[in-house]
């Protein structure tokens, strides 16, 4: 009987130890889960806070509400990998004292845009965005040339008339192989712009390949303050009125309206719209310009990834529709200038003369009459 009681006590003791052990293990698992969850929640909150704070300015450029950006992060993506790399860089990078959170964050956003392999989809940080806005305002310091990617090469789209690049002999279509000796192979456009621009009275050397020329050539160009008046006019002695549009910038719509009023006053026998080496700019300005010839209908169609289309229609001004018009284009005519020239051709409002235009693919420059 005593043996049976001792045996029963041993069994009960073992059960108690098992229950206590299981409880402790459960508590440990719960603690680990809670700790991990708290850590991940903190990291995710960090993503949300950083995202909301740092990209809010994008709404000023795009018009989209970015405050909810962190709420739509894909659940299928393991963002722990992102934060592991982030923490590894800040902890283990040889010059970790020089690591800046904003630089890491903006760099990751640039990489996100670059992953699309689309030269016209880029992310601008606030400094780059200001530089871009300065371009559209028509005032900056540099060499006065629009550059872009063509066939994966940094290419001169158009040197602006009278500016340092044009004075040095650069031409539309020139390929920039190096900037101050630094190869442009694999270089993004925004990085090339940073290297080319600089304070007035400093210089930059571009190594240029030009089709049909056997030897590459170095061009040393002195930077200057670039102030671009985007529209210039001339009433020629032969009765033709020339409107030269160098870009579709902040001042273009107002200056072009002044040109139209001057045309109506002087009543020339014909118009020449010169869009050579015009790299483009604001879409709404292009639509307004084309509307001076096109009475009604779509100036340009925008096609979205889901197959839907959106048309940008003429505003019906059509003050120049009675004038015979010739449009001059070349390989430096891009974007908005292609939209205008394409619309005027398709509506048979003008004759195009010159060379094949740049061929920017962001928005189709073809239009369809209603």
Active site residues: 335, 346, 360
Contact 57, 106 (CB under 8 A): no
- Token code pair at residue 306: 């889901």
What is the secondary structure of 81-141 as a DSSP string? Answer: HHHHHHHHHHHH-TTGGG--HHHHHHHHHHHHHHTT--TT-----HHHHHHHHHHHHTEEE
- Token code pair at residue 320: 């120049």
Identify the sign of the CA torsion 65, 66, 69, 71. Answer: negative
3 state DSSP class of 235:
strand
Contact 275, 340 (CB under 8 A): yes
E-assigned strands of the chain? Answer: 139-142, 145-150, 153-159, 175-179, 182-183, 203-209, 217-222, 224-227, 231-235, 240-245, 270-274, 298-303, 309-313, 325-329, 351-354
Contacts of 132 (CB under 8 A, 6+ apart): 124
Q: How many residues does the structure list for the chain?
A: 370
- Token code pair at residue 198: 């600089």
């Amino acid at each position: 009987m005593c043996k049976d009681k001792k045996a029963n006590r041993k069994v009960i003791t073992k059960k108690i130890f098992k229950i206590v052990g299981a409880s402790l293990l459960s508590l440990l698992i719960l603690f680990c889960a809670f700790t991990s969850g708290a850590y991940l929640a903190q990291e995710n909150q960090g993503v949300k806070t950083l995202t909301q704070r740092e990209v809010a300015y994008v709404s000023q450029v795009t018009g989209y509400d970015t405050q909810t950006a962190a709420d739509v992060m894909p659940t299928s993506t393991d963002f722990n990998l992102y934060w592991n790399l982030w923490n590894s860089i800040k902890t283990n990078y040889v010059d970790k004292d020089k690591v800046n959170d904003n630089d890491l964050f903006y760099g990751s956003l640039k990489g996100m845009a670059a992953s699309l392999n689309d030269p016209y989809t880029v992310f601008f940080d606030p400094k780059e965005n200001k530089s871009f806005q300065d371009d559209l305002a028509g005032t900056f310091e540099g060499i006065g040339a629009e550059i872009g990617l063509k066939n994966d090469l940094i290419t001169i789209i158009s040197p602006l008339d009278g500016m340092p690049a044009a004075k040095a002999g650069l031409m539309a279509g020139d390929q920039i192989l190096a900037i101050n000796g630094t190869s442009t192979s694999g270089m993004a456009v925004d990085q090339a712009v940073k290297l080319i621009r600089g304070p007035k009275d400093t210089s930059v050397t571009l190594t240029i390949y030009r089709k049909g020329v056997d030897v590459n050539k170095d061009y040393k160009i002195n930077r200057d303050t670039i102030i671009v008046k985007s529209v210039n006019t001339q009433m020629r002695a032969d009765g033709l009125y020339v409107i030269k549009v160098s870009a579709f910038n902040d001042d273009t719509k107002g200056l072009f309206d002044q040109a139209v009023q001057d045309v109506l006053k002087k009543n020339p026998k014909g118009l020449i719209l010169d869009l050579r080496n015009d790299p483009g700019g604001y879409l709404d300005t292009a639509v307004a310009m084309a509307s001076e010839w096109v009475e009604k209908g779509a100036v340009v169609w925008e096609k979205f990834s889901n197959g839907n289309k959106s048309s940008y229609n003429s505003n019906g001004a059509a003050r120049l529709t009675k004038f015979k018009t010739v449009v001059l284009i070349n390989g430096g005519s891009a974007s908005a200038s292609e939209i205008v020239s394409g619309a005027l051709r398709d509506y048979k409002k003008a004759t195009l003369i010159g060379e094949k235009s740049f061929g920017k693919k962001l928005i189709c420059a073809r239009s369809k009459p209603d």
